[in-house]
C-alpha cells in the first residue's frame, strides 16, 4: 500500500513541499503528471491539488495526509488532525485599514464592511469580541477593496507587509499566525500509520538538522576546558590533536538560534579557524 499525500499543485507551498520530500530522501522521479506522482523509493503517492481543497480530500480519505497552511485548515474546519508543524509558508492573518484611519481595537470593526477570503476565521473573531460587522467574501486581491469602495477594512494574509503598504493600508491587528502543517485523516489504517511514522521520523531529522550547525575549530590545549564548556554537542564535543603541538581540533553541533552568541564566546576564549557547516540529517 501507499500513503496518499496531497500537496499544493502550484503556488507558495509547492516548492517547499517538494523540497522537504527531497530532503527526506523521497525521490519523485518519472511519472510526474499534472494530477498524481509516485515516489520510487518510499511508499507514498502524491496528489497535486488546490490548497483550498486539501482539507476536504483528507477528511474524505481521498488523501491520507496533506501539506497545507494552518489558515486553510482553520477556515475549512474539516475533520482532520494536525500532525506536524512543517515550519515553512509562515504568514499571519491580519486586519488592515486605510493608513490615515485611527484603529482603536476590535470595537472599531463594529458595523464596518470587512473584505476577506477567510470569512469563517473572521466571523469567529468577531463573535469572540462581541462585534457585529458585514463580511464580504472575495477570493483574491482583497487589498484593493478599500480603494474601490467595497469595504472599510480588509482581513488578509501578510508576510512582508508590502502588499498592504503599496495599497495605502496599514496592518492593525493579527488574528492568526500560520505556517504549513501536515494534516492527517482521523481514520488511518495500521499500515498507513506505520508509513506516516516513518515519514515523520525523516521530516523531524531534516528539521533538526536545519536548526543546527556543525562547527569545527582549532583551540589551544590550555583553553580546551573553557571551549568545551561552551559547546554542548550531541553528547560531548569531539577533540582531536592537531599536527602542531599544543593545539586541538574541536568538533561539535550547535543550535542555529544560539549560533552568534556562542561564536563570539568561542573567539573570546581563543578559538581560531572556526568553520561552520550545514547538517543534512540529524538522527538522535
Of 178, 109, 94, whose CA–CA distance to 142 is shortest?
94
Q: Which of 89, 176, 183, 203 binds ligand PRT (CB under 6 A)?
A: 89
| Residues 107-136, mask of contacts with ligand PRT (x by CB under 6 A) | ------------------------------
Distance, CA of 151 to chain centre: 31
Query: What is the spatial distance between Cα 21 and Cα 23, in angstroms, rounded to a whole number?
Result: 5
The contacts of residue 227 (CB under 8 Å, 6+ apart) are 217, 219, 250, 266, 269, 270, 271
Q: Is 158 one of the binding residues for ligand PRT (CB under 6 A)?
A: yes
Of 21 and 192, CB closest to ligand PRT: 21
Count of positions on this chain that bind ligand PRT (CB under 6 A)? 21
For the bound state, the minimum distance from the C-beta of residue 8 to Zn ion, rounded and expressed in Å, comes to 8
Instruction: State the DSSP string of 41-103.
Output: SSSEEEEEE-GGGHHHHHHHTSSSEEEEEHHHHHHHT-SEEEEEE-S-S-EEEEEEEETT---
For the bound state, the minimum distance from the C-beta of residue 87 to ligand PRT, rounded and expressed in Å, comes to 12
- Using the rule CB under 6 A, give the single segment among 48-56, 129-137, 192-200, 248-256 that binds ligand PRT: 48-56
**Footprint on residues 24-53 left by Zn ion (CB under 5 A):** 51-52
Query: What is the spatial distance between Cα 135 and Cα 131, in angstroms, rounded to a whole number?
Result: 12
Query: What is the spatial distance between Cα 94 and Cα 122, in angstroms, rounded to a whole number?
Result: 10
C-alpha cell at 180: 504549513
Of 69 and 146, CB closest to ligand PRT: 69
Count of positions on this chain that bind Zn ion (CB under 5 A)? 2
Binding partner at 101 among Zn ion, ligand PRT, none, C-beta below 5 to 8 Å by kind = none
Query: What is the spatial distance between Cα 71 and Cα 121, in angstroms, rounded to a whole number?
Result: 8
Q: Is 160 one of the binding residues for ligand PRT (CB under 6 A)?
A: yes
Task: Point out which residues bind ligand PRT (CB under 6 A).
Answer: 8, 11-13, 50-52, 69, 71-72, 89, 91, 156-163, 178
Task: Point out which residues bind Zn ion (CB under 5 A).
Answer: 51-52
Amino acid at each position: 500500500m501507499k500513503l496518499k499525500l496531497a500537496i499544493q499543485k502550484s503556488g507558495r507551498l509547492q516548492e517547499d513541499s517538494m523540497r522537504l520530500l527531497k530532503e527526506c530522501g523521497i525521490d519523485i522521479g518519472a511519472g510526474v503528471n499534472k494530477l498524481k506522482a509516485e515516489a520510487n523509493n518510499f511508499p507514498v503517492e502524491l496528489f497535486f491539488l488546490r490548497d483550498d481543497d486539501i482539507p476536504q480530500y483528507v477528511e474524505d480519505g481521498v488523501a491520507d495526509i496533506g501539506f497545507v497552511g494552518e489558515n486553510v485548515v482553520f477556515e475549512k474546519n474539516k475533520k482532520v488532525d494536525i500532525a506536524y508543524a512543517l515550519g515553512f509558508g509562515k504568514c499571519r492573518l491580519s486586519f488592515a485599514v486605510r493608513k490615515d484611519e485611527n484603529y482603536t481595537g476590535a470595537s472599531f470593526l463594529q458595523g464596518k464592511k470587512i473584505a476577506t477570503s477567510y470569512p469563517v476565521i473572521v466571523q469567529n473573531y468577531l463573535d469572540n469580541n462581541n462585534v457585529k460587522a458585514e463580511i464580504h467574501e472575495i477570493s483574491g486581491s482583497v487589498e484593493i477593496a478599500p480603494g474601490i469602495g467595497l469595504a472599510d477594512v480588509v482581513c488578509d494574509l501578510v508576510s512582508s507587509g508590502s502588499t498592504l503598504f503599496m495599497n495605502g493600508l496599514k496592518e492593525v491587528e493579527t488574528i492568526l499566525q500560520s505556517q504549513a502543517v501536515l494534516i492527517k485523516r482521523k481514520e488511518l489504517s495500521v499500515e498507513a500509520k506505520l508509513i506516516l511514522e516513518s515519514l515523520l521520523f525523516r521530516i523531524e531529522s531534516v528539521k533538526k538538522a536545519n536548526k543546527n550547525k556543525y562547527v569545527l575549530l582549532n583551540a589551544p590545549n590550555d583553553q580546551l576546558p573553557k571551549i568545551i564548556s561552551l559547546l554542548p554537542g550531541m553528547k560531548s564535543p569531539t577533540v582531536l590533536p592537531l599536527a602542531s603541538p599544543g593545539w586541538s581540533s574541536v568538533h561539535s553541533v550547535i543550535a542555529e538560534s544560539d549560533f552568534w552568541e556562542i561564536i563570539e564566546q568561542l573567539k573570546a576564549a581563543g578559538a581560531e579557524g572556526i568553520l561552520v557547516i550545514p547538517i543534512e540529517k540529524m538522527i538522535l
